[in-house]
A and B are shown apart, each in its own frame.
Chain A
């Protein structure tokens, strides 16, 4: 009876025969096999070294890349960005998003496989693990072995190195927001501000736990991009694919019944090298970060058994079905992503080359809209906010254009001093004879001009408001 029901349940789950999801219960110890994609992954790793080095680059007397939040200035080499230029950030985000979407549409999760910090840091951590504890087999054995002096020594050494990398990662992140050298000094003398400690604590914890312990679990369960990628790939997208037609039925190369077998010798090396522990032969799946390690592994085996390479290769669904892949710029997705990408690049280039030296904004007083003076004149009040983004104090004058009969009260328009990097709002009153007003509302333009060279001219359109006409 019992046996009968057991079988029924197995039938119920027949579709999930291969459904094996690792929820963190087993540690994946992936093998490392040299190859093209392995080399590419190291190259991508080196790009992340820039992240660790960049805060120490100096440029024109200050840190080359500095996000100075208290001063609200972002330094990127010679460019200084102010909060007013933040609109460019949205373009940068669009640009990054389009790069991600476009690349994913063409070649799948390239970001995940080679460039993502989760992938790279995990790679560094496991590389150290291999150097210290040995091959995956030795590592599994060590994990299973009872505690011994040797095990403690190896584990202690590994975790110390992991923590050092984590600390370096955290301090580096903090170093983008304040002077890197002073920051190191304040950390080493235990004088760093609280927020700096919190940042480092969060990053050390995150790096150590995510890259040391959770690893592929982050990609499986934490990362949102891993989940939305499936809507970005289509039948044209090239992904690491197992050539089922060529590989099946799988089995040993020689021996009984080896005739008629496919090229796959079922060595499971592709599974052994997979950093997320999936079997690519089951087809594309959520765990696959398209890092190509299985391709390197399979190619090395194919070489050994004298079969052509590419049993697992980057290929699209269409290619596998024998169709021809359309050229890149005949694909609607690629065209759309590239267009938006180019627009964003254009916007950023325009923005960076057109950062105004002075930011001018004029606010017309709303209460009251106009003031009736005792000599019959009508006055309007304006709050002028002018931010001098250059590195020197400058003198300006203010003029009214486009509204004959409207003039600035007193000498408020002359000899305006704008201190470098400062913004002190000031008021200006404009006055007009009631007879000079052409309507209840008269458009005008306030012009702020530099007195000394270089010539800076900023304009701001506003209005002059008078009593209602009946």
Chain B
């Protein structure tokens, strides 16, 4: 291969133009070694791995390696690491999970992706919701209850609120007076006269005689506490009027509020729901 380059004495091809010879100096040895190592590497690689594209698919390579196999293997490895923890999640109660810092942290971290995939679309990545549209999960105002088991129930079975439309039931003046009352009540300034009208119109049946909500929440109506200043559908006068007039989730009422939380029981495993519940509980308002 390479000999020291001496231009004066270098071998030539016999070609010459205007006294300039075409030399045939070989490349340096290290270069040739790298060159041969390079093509040998290529051949070996082409034999071992999928390499040459054919019409419908590529050559397979004798190792049988594919990207999807490697991916599935990595997922399986990850699952194997998580398995004992998931077993623990399944065995522990909500209270136990919340009390164990390590497991709580595991559940929250695992639920981060599940939350992002399934919940964040409506409730926001931090559970902050969207004012007037989707409830805030980080505060302590719960329509159906903020304890661990109720959160699990809400995720598993979903929720569908229900409030009748009052247009036609009540006259316009009454609806306006009711709106005035609930807005004032949220600021702690509700009048006794207003509360009387509130109960007369039947609102207290669901929202409670003191407007603090919750009376028939076991039935799943999700009637809100109207005294806390936290509004499910917005606290401006127009929004309150709309809620009273057209209700929530009423069939055949054009302007009714839509408030449907889908059921995730069929989509997520009980362990996943449990871990989600830990995350939601820890967002700030858990009870």
Contacts and interface: CB of A to CB of B under 8 A. Distances in A.
A429 interface: yes
Given A24-B2, A221-B30, A371-B285, A365 B19 contact: no
Given A367-B124, A424-B105, A372 B230 contact: yes
A9 interface: yes
B140 interface: yes
Interface residues of B, number: 36
Contacts of A8: 19
A287 to B, nearest CB: 13
18 contacts: A9-B19, A9-B21, A13-B7, A21-B5, A23-B5, A23-B29, A24-B2, A214-B30, A365-B126, A366-B126, A367-B127, A368-B136, A371-B138, A374-B139, A374-B140, A375-B228, A379-B284, A425-B105
B41 to A, nearest CB: 15
A267 B31 CA distance: 34
A373 interface: yes
B4 interface: yes
A221 B33 CA distance: 14
A281 interface: no
Contacts of B127: 367-368
A365 B140 CA distance: 17
A10 interface: yes
Interface string A368-387: 10011111100101000000
Interface string B137-175: 011110000000000000000000000000000000000
Contacts of A365: 126
A299 B127 CA distance: 82
A23 B30 contact: yes
Which 3 A-B residue pairings sit nearest by Cβ, starting from the closest?
A367-B126, A368-B128, A23-B28
A217 interface: yes
A26 B225 CA distance: 92
Contacts of A373: 139-141, 285
B58 interface: no
Contacts of A25: 1-4, 28-29
A371 B146 CA distance: 15
B19 A371 contact: no
Contacts of A221: 30
Contacts of B7: 9, 13, 16
Interface residues of A, number: 34
Contacts, number: 87
A411 interface: no
B251 interface: no
B271 interface: no
Interface of B: 1-8, 16, 19-21, 28-30, 101-102, 105, 124-128, 136, 138-141, 225, 228-230, 282-285
Contacts of B16: 5
A366 B282 CA distance: 15
B21 A24 contact: no
**Max count, chain B CB within 10 A of own CB: residue among A221, A368, A373, A426:** A368
Given A5-B19, A23-B28, A374-B140, A367 B128 contact: yes
A20 interface: yes
A375 B228 CA distance: 6
A427 B127 CA distance: 15
Interface string A323-334: 000000000000
A374 B228 contact: yes
A368 B101 CA distance: 23
A299 B236 CA distance: 99
B8 A9 contact: yes
Contact of A368 (B6, B138, B230): B138
Contacts of B28: 23-25
A22 interface: yes
B4 A26 contact: yes
Contact of A22 (B4, B138, B283): B4
A13 B283 CA distance: 80
Contacts of A367: 124-128
B263 to A, nearest CB: 25
Contacts of B140: 373-374
A425 B140 CA distance: 22
A286 to B, nearest CB: 15
Interface in A314-352: none
Nearest to B4: A25
Given A13-B7, A427-B282, 9 more contacts: A20-B6, A23-B2, A368-B128, A368-B138, A371-B138, A374-B225, A379-B139, A381-B284, A424-B105
